[in-house]
Every structure is written in structure tokens, then in C-alpha cells.
Amino acid sequence: MSGASRVVVIGAGLGGMSAAIALAQAGMRVTLIEKNERHGGKLNVLETQGFKFDLGPSIFTLPQVFRPLFEGDGRKLEDYIDLRRVDPQWRNFFEDGTVVNLWERTEDMRAELAHLKDGTEAFADYERFVEYSRAQYDVVERGYLRQGFDRFGEFLRFYGLKDGRAMDWRHSMAGAIRQRIRDPYLRDIFAYFIKYVGSSANDSPGFMNLMPNIQLEFGLWYVNGGMYEFAWAFARRLDELGVESHFGCEAVKIEREPGRVTGVVVCEGSTTRVLPADYVVSNMEVIPASEKLLGESSRQLKKLSRFEPACSGIVVHLGLDRVYPQLAHHNFFYSRKQEAHFDRVFREKRLPDDPTIYLVAPTRSDPTQAPPGCDNIKILPHIPYINDKHPYTREDCVELKKLCLDKLERMGLTDLRKHIVVEDFWTPFDIEQSYYSNRGAIYGVVCDRKKNFAFKAPKRSRDFDNLFFVGGSVNPGGGMPMVSLSGQHVARMILEQQGGTR
Ligand SMILES: Cc1cc2nc3c(=O)[nH]c(=O)nc-3n(C[C@H](O)[C@H](O)[C@H](O)COP(=O)(O)OP(=O)(O)OC[C@H]3O[C@@H](n4cnc5c(N)ncnc54)[C@H](O)[C@@H]3O)c2cc1C
């Protein structure tokens, strides 16, 4: 072990922990440092007064992506977490009182859509759209996701003309939906799948319509006991593999020489020291790390400007002294004009005046998340990242919270405010400060046809051969399975590089 290469991983988010595990599995000496006091990054938790609030992700998809990290020594993912399938996957509420469930099984969708005006037509469109979504998923998965491409050239070489045509480049995500779906409710539902990457369906390329397939083909899951159990699973795995972890330990500088990095300067309380490294993996996002850890000039930082942040959000966790039985585990309360809502948030960078609100009520799958007779809900409308075009304040975010509560009360959660017994409130400023995310972004880099064609920053530094990035700001982007993929791809790139230099 003493001759093994030393890797320092900065950040114990899912991207950093995935890289650390994959590298340790391959026999490398890994040190993981995290400025906060616990594992998980945005996968975070708050336990108070009998309520257990998952502060970050609530939707778990593509379990197969995580399997390689938990396999080996005769073990499997299920030895670490208890996954439960959630169905209906989403319950969708509209201002006119219409409610549409999204079910995993096609036959359940047939029955569901039969309630709509022109239900037969809606179901025919639904089936055709799901087929299109599967085709987009298949083509993107076998190249971009599986191979871990970072550059347009790699992409073109792999896909060539035939697959290039199969991938929907030409339309926006919303445009491709409009072409295939006539029902206005289904249009809004499919467009809001872009939530998973914090972007706009009006500006993302058509192939991002692969997202419904992710949950319809492979299921939507909940980690029993709360999503934070997954962070504990990672912690166990890191321990088993002998990864040395330091919490309350912040990277303040990456040491460099021409073409290479040599170590990380860390600060623990009042102590500063250098951790020498053969490789450095940063789970701190590319732009903040380039600015703060590498001290890049504004000219160099400008080159990264196309990797604009994805959206942020206000996140409201409420403990209630009653249960609203109309809620499913995952619920969406739609904007009256969703396309205008996307433009307001993503193009104009203004706080929404009528947001689509995501509301999660985990006690539907797991009663342990709230005391008996009580409910635990999280409310998350997407809002612009912290920006200079239309700057907002914490007070503006409080006003937006009121608007959201008004909307939920109007749409059926009668007297919601009167039943709040516990409240926890996060603004983009809290998200930025807690995880050092770029301008409070929740999902790393935005997907945008014009700005970056849905490409995120490359995983390997252009300037330093042995410096790599993982997490939502690099390919393939944000969301739990994607950031884990970036960690696993980076481990493979380091091992290949090491093989090449031996
Ligand atoms: C409210 C919310 C809801 C979400 N919902 C979902 C969902 O339902 N499904 C889903 O798949 N995804 C969801 N996401 C997105 C998902 O959480 C993220 O994409 C993913 O967890 C990010 O992982 P990461 O590795 O990129 O980075 P992070 O989780 O941000 O981790 C980065 C880590 O690096 C640490 N760090 C940064 N700089 C330093 C430094 N200088 N020194 C030491 N440590 C440092 C940070 O403290 C942090 O722990 C949600 C996120 C939020 C906030």
C-alpha cells in the first residue's frame, strides 16, 4: 500500500465519495477532506422534534449506476440500503382542479388518462412519447453517459452520422413535447422533468426528453429510513475500503507547478497544513475551485462562463400537526403558464410570480419521518441562481415563500399555515455557503442549447494533468446518479493515466 499513488479528494458530496470509493477499490491511497461535519454534501438531513427532513435529494433513480461502488467481497447495494419503489411516481395538481397521477406501468397510465377529456388521444400520445423518450435515453446512455465524454470531438467520433441523427438535437425539449403531445396537462408534466437538472425545457435540447424514461423504465425509488441513509451507506463503504476521511477540514489552496498539481493546503480550525498528492480530485465545483483554490485570473475564468449555473431554489421544510391525505409522496403544483415561468426564471433571471412547486411528503412511503398523526413536507420552487441581472435578497425569498404557501392553500392544502409546528427555510445564500456551490446552484451547470449544448465542464483540468473535477459542474451533470457517474469516470481516467505513465 505504501507505494500506491496518493489521491486527495476535496469534498464528500456524492461525486467526491464515488471517486474516493472507486479509487480505493483499485488500491489507491485516498484521503477525503470535507469542510462540513458530515458526509453527503447536498444529500443532507435535519432531525428535529420527531421530524426527519431530507434537506437535499428526495428522488432516487438509476440504482444500477451506484452498484459498482457497493459490489465486491460478495456484497451488493441492498446490503447497505433498503430501496422502496414509489408509485404513483408523481401526483400533478393543476389550478383548474385537475389531478393527474404519473404511474410506472403503462396500463395504469391508460386508466389514469381515460379521465381526461380526449383521454384515448392523450394515451396514444403518451405511448408514442414514451417510446421517443426511450430512444433518446438509449442513444445518450450508450455514449455520453457510459463512456464519460467531455469533448464534442469524442462525441462526434463515437456517434457518427447515424446516431447523431437519432439524437434529437434540432428541437428544444418543450418544442419536441409540443410536437408529440396534444394534452396541455401532459405537456406540462413532461416539460417539468427538466427539474431533475434545474434547467428550462424551453432552452434545453430535445434529447433531454430522455428523463421520463429514466424513471418509467428503471423505477423511482425511496431509501427507507430517509434519503440520508444513502450517505451513511457511502460512509460505511469508505471505512471498509480504508479511505482516510477528515471533516471540518477545508481546502484553501491547490499547490501547483507547471502542468501539474502537487498537493492541497487544508485548514482545520486554526491549523493549516499541506497534504501532498499525486492526484487531486475536486468535488468543489469547477468555477469556485478555479477562482478560490487555483487563483485563476478573470481572463481564465471568463473561458468558463458558458458553464452557467443551473437554477437555485428556496427550500422549505415543514412539520405539520395534521396530514393532507390528497398528497402522494411526490407532488407538483403547476404554474398557470409554465413556459412563461421557465423564461422568467432562466432567461430574465427574475423570481417567479407563479412558480411550479415541487412538494415531497415522504411519510407516504415511510411513516417514521414524522410523529404519529403529523406530516413532513418539503416545498421546492426553482428560482434563478444568485445573479447580477435581477439581484434578490433573503427578504425577497421570504416573500416568495409566502406566495408559495398562498398557492398551496388555494390549490387544496387548506389552512396549511395554521398547521405548521416546525419550519426550516433555505435560500440560495444558504445553499452557496453550505456547499460552496456556484452562486447557490442546486444542480451544477445549466443545460442550454445555445450556451453549452447540455455539455458541462470537462472532468480533467485543461492546465494540470493530474487535477480532476467531479460533481454537478462537470459531465454528465447534476442529480445523484449523474454526479456519481462523474466520480466513477474520473477514477477510471486516473487509473488509465497511471497505467500509461507506469
Ligand atoms: C433541495 C435539493 C433537492 C434536490 N433534489 C434532488 C433529487 O430529488 N434527486 C436527485 O437526484 N438530485 C437532487 N438534488 C441534486 C443533488 O443533490 C446533487 O446533484 C448532488 O447531491 C450533488 O453532488 P455533488 O457531488 O455534485 O456535490 P455536493 O453535494 O455539493 O458536494 C460537494 C461537497 O464538497 C464540499 N466542499 C466544497 N468546497 C470545499 C472545500 N474547499 N474544502 C472542503 N470541502 C469542500 C462541500 O461542503 C460539499 O460537501 C437536489 C439538491 C437539492 C439541494
The x, y and z cell numbers of residue 24, run together, are 480505493
Q: DSSP label at 77?
A: G
Q: Is-contact 320 420, C-beta < 8 A? A: yes
What is the number of the ligand 1 atom nearest to the C-alpha of 59?
8
Residue whose CA is at the smallest distance from ligand 1 atom 27: 13
Give φ, ψ of 290 to 5 degrees. -65, -40
Report whether pLDDT(14) > 50: yes
Report whether pLDDT(261) > 50: yes
Pocket of ligand 1 (CB under 6 A): 10-16, 33-36, 41-43, 56-59, 250-251, 283-284, 315, 380, 435-437, 442-444, 471-472, 478-480, 483
Contacts 24+ apart (CB under 8 A), 493-500: 493/148, 493/459, 493/460, 493/468, 494/7, 494/23, 494/28, 494/279, 494/281, 494/466, 494/468, 495/23, 495/26, 497/465, 497/466, 498/5
- Over residues 335-341, mean pLDDT: 97
Cα(483)–Cα(198) distance, integer angstroms: 14
Which one, of 336, 354, 357, 493, lies nearest residue 416 by Cα?
Answer: 357
Report whether pLDDT(501) > 60: no
**pLDDT tens digit sequence for 262-296:** 999 999 999 999 999 999 999 999 999 999 999 99
Q: How far is the CA of 34 from the centre of ligand 1 (A)?
A: 12
- Max Cα-Cα span within the chain: 69
Report whether pLDDT(52) > 90: yes
Q: How far is the CA of 14 from the centre of ligand 1 (A)?
A: 7
Q: How far is the CA of 435 from the centre of ligand 1 (A)?
A: 7
Pocket probe for ligand 1: among 62, 283, 331, the residue whose CB has the most ligand atoms within 8 Å is: 283
| pLDDT score for 156 | 86
Residue whose CA is at the smallest distance from ligand 1 atom 13: 57
**Secondary element (H or E) of residue 243:** none
What is the number of the ligand 1 atom nearest to the C-alpha of 13?
31
Domains annotated on the chain, with CATH:
1-45+59-86+224-307+453-502 (3.50.50.60), 102-219 (no CATH), 311-439 (no CATH)
Q: Which residue has the cell 416568495?
A: 400
**Model pTM?**
0.97
Cα(280)–Cα(176) distance, integer angstroms: 41
Q: How far is the CA of 316 from the centre of ligand 1 (A)?
A: 17
| pLDDT score for 27 | 95
DSSP helix/strand/coil, 188: helix
What is the number of the ligand 1 atom nearest to the C-alpha of 288?
38
Question: Phi/psi class of residue 259: alpha, beta or left (left: φ > 0; alpha: ψ in -120 to 50)?
Answer: left
| pLDDT score for 502 | 40
Residue whose CA is at the smallest distance from ligand 1 atom 19: 479
Q: How far is the CA of 458 from the centre of ligand 1 (A)?
A: 18
Cα(109)–Cα(106) distance, integer angstroms: 5
| pLDDT score for 500 | 64
- Over residues 303-312, mean pLDDT: 96
User: How does residue 4 score in pLDDT terms, banded at 50, 70 and 90?
Assistant: confident
Give φ, ψ of 72 to 5 degrees. 120, 155
Report whether pLDDT(1) > 50: no
How many CA within 13 A on the CB side of residue 36?
18
Pocket probe for ligand 1: among 34, 37, 42, 287, the residue whose CB has the most ligand atoms within 8 Å is: 42
